[in-house]
Chains A and B, each alone.
Chain A
């Protein structure tokens, strides 16, 4: 999961502009912009954090035409999934110098989607895909300067962060943001599921009803998750602006 402690990796810790990871911003950012006018979105937030930590990222050329494949997988569109997987895998193999660099993705569902794509990668050095939350907990958090935490944060782990096993990293980031972090007692997957929450709003409404009541009762200072469409689902359910946890971390730790 983490950077292998090889010669090449160690050399990259030198203050050079050589990239340490290939950054794969999720396309949901393009379709659904930041929660509130005037906020920057997870991509800018994550890039700022990396900049402060002295980490250089590489965004592959042609990123706007790439996707983790989840929309096709969810809809059962096998041909489209194969087309997109092939395209994305080829670009990532080249950008990572054939697997020498890890791929970092900033939306948990897309991280999971990319993991599925690379399952089909049979090359000698398979690609490594890390979620930005996990990357930040390991590589960014330790080098951030002193700052003031906000009072409280309502946290929404996602189905993908649960399945990826990155909820401990999500907790770590959340604890770094706020004095008090609360996950609603009736927490569960929001069922926004890409566009399923738009196709069948009654599904998301039902899935979020109990936890939304918990969240509203909390009255937290800020609300965070780790996947743009889930942030939309929870925003719809609670009326509170949900943002990516790294976007909030960037704000809180801004010098």
Chain B
């Protein structure tokens, strides 16, 4: 076991250096539960980090980069952890930039906004709402997706298309480069500063721009590829779109998936929040009819055109609060488009709708088009659409994982691409693959569910991917429209762009990060089989949570998120324990279980807020309560049953005890109270706190009120003898 010893020594040197780089060493976490709970993002890949560091500011990230360079470890920045392509996982050091990077500053009366990477899209929109503005990118995961990931992935969404995506709405960034240099691209002299402080990078970018602009084939490929939503490889359109290297840098950072630098702060222009909206679900007899209607509907100025195929609709019917139009449908080969028009006034909306209806009326629809402005119904329709990704994943068979694809083709090619996809699903016997997504932009998603870890599952996925790549690239499309290249499509960047532009991209990585410190294996990867490695295993652990897809939507609403774990982390840690048990790694089982009791079980408020955010309605609190039950000390359990039989006396005693407490100094109570907690456990004996009020009155007695009584009380109390 000499390797273990060596790696432990190396580890302790690295950990020591990391701890020295942050102001509070406790923010470098190395317990097994920290590593396994934080390892997972929403993708089907899994790597376990060596350490998790909760960073506080850009300066600290700069210090961590210097440690990484000196110690030869690599860093991966993680915020919301909702990404799907494997770009937010690492076997190096994971840096949490969500907890302490939450500032949002509204500028120019809402026209612009300065945001840090840990703020969610929803939080930004909440702040902007009173100015009548909103954030451009509109990913379906807006409640949990954070600005760090939005920038790192050039996020777009349902409505924003390529017009108001991250690339287009970004004004400036504050970025920490791997060299430790901090660049604010919004500073008046930013370009001069970049030349002075990073001359190699500055001149390298100029040279790449010259090289690309002078190559007509490169220009043609870039213009064609980036006319669509496209998050494959680096955003080399920056080299054509901007003349100053500092602007190229700012826009290359967009979509760089944490491989070029750390984005500490970003200024965006905002877009108007058009308050008048009307929505309808157009139901077509089949996918072909729905996709064929797209060009005409795009021409009507629809803000969104979200496609859902028959399987999506069937899954949607199982979701709580599904809209009536879906519940009432006997789904056969149907497909639907969720169509929405946005306008600044009701008159303008009426005009838009009138134009739209002229086209809609010519379509072959199964049900009459029923546009509504009703917020309740519109909410149901969008809940249906936004919940499909996780809900589809939630219906997968036990022991399989879900993999979400994200392709884009020119809109006129979408219909035949979808038809061909369905042929591929049949050829490879992928049974539950529904097609849905942002049809307006030619961008659709579909999910594959399989046991990708098994040899047959892996071989099938490998061959399917080859066929998919041929199909999409043959139509002039992109293999990742908005989810980022990640690990899943990194092996295909070269095939999509050709050798010359791929070399430009490799050169970009070397210019920014010559030592390869940041997020290796993501976006650029020389291993042609990178997409077939490090796949996540999902063992069954408990019926309450087995359908969890690890999407992370529960995390922002969980009250224990900043003190111990989130619901997703409670679930993945349990899966890690089970996987370790299956692997026979009993030492790891014991190490994880040791901390699970407090971090997961005891500090869950069991408030069910996670269920309100979960697309597959998991209440992780239910599982934590069951674990408490299974753990409950038999004596404690018996006492609580006695209490149930004598509740009146217990509540009165508790009330009297609090009244007694109020008459004596706090210290007199706290000392023995803390002693009791030390002896009997902090999960059994409550800690008294001086702001607790005195006890209340018995519920049956009418309390003396401070209010004047106009009339005799008409509240009656039932006779005590009635139940005697």
Contact = CB atoms under 8 A, between A and B. Distances in A.
A76 B631 contact: yes
Which of A44, A66, A185, A236 counts the most B-chain CB atoms under 10 A from its CB?
A44
A40 B706 contact: yes
A32 B693 contact: yes
Contact of A40 (B688, B692, B705): B705
Interface in B683-715: 683-689, 691-700, 702-703, 705-708, 710-711, 713-715
Interface string B537-576: 0000000000000000000010110111000000000000
A61 B720 contact: yes
A3 interface: no
A41 B699 CA distance: 11
Nearest to B624: A76
A75 interface: yes
B607 A63 contact: no
Given A27-B647, A64-B700, A74 B714 contact: no
A50 interface: yes
B647 A65 contact: yes
Interface residues of B, number: 79
A19 B716 contact: yes
Interface stretch (A117-125, A130-138, A146-154, A202-210): A202-210
Contacts of B603: 200, 202-203
Contacts of A232: 691-693
B612 interface: yes
Contacts of A189: 557, 559, 605, 607, 609
Interface string A19-60: 100010101011111110111110110011011101111111
Contact of B689 (A47, A48, A201, A250): A201
Interface string A184-209: 01001111110110111111111101
A207 B722 CA distance: 45
Nearest to A255: B710
B654 interface: yes
Contacts of A47: 702, 713, 715
Given A23-B715, A34-B693, A200 B722 contact: no
Contact of A188 (B557, B602, B631): B557
Which of B605, B627, B691 counts the most A-chain CB atoms under 10 A from its CB?
B605
Interface of A: 17, 19, 23, 25, 27, 29-35, 37-41, 43-44, 47-48, 50-52, 54-67, 71-81, 83-84, 87, 91, 94-95, 159-160, 162-163, 185, 188-193, 195-196, 198-207, 209, 232, 235-236, 239, 250-251, 254-255
Q: 8 tightest A-B contacts by CB?
A: A76-B629, A76-B628, A198-B686, A207-B559, A191-B559, A159-B607, A33-B696, A206-B563
Given A58-B717, A64-B647, 9 more contacts: A73-B625, A77-B641, A80-B637, A162-B612, A188-B559, A190-B559, A193-B606, A207-B560, A254-B707
20 contacts: A27-B651, A33-B694, A34-B696, A48-B705, A51-B715, A58-B716, A61-B718, A64-B699, A75-B632, A77-B632, A79-B637, A79-B638, A83-B645, A163-B608, A185-B127, A189-B605, A196-B605, A206-B560, A236-B689, A254-B708
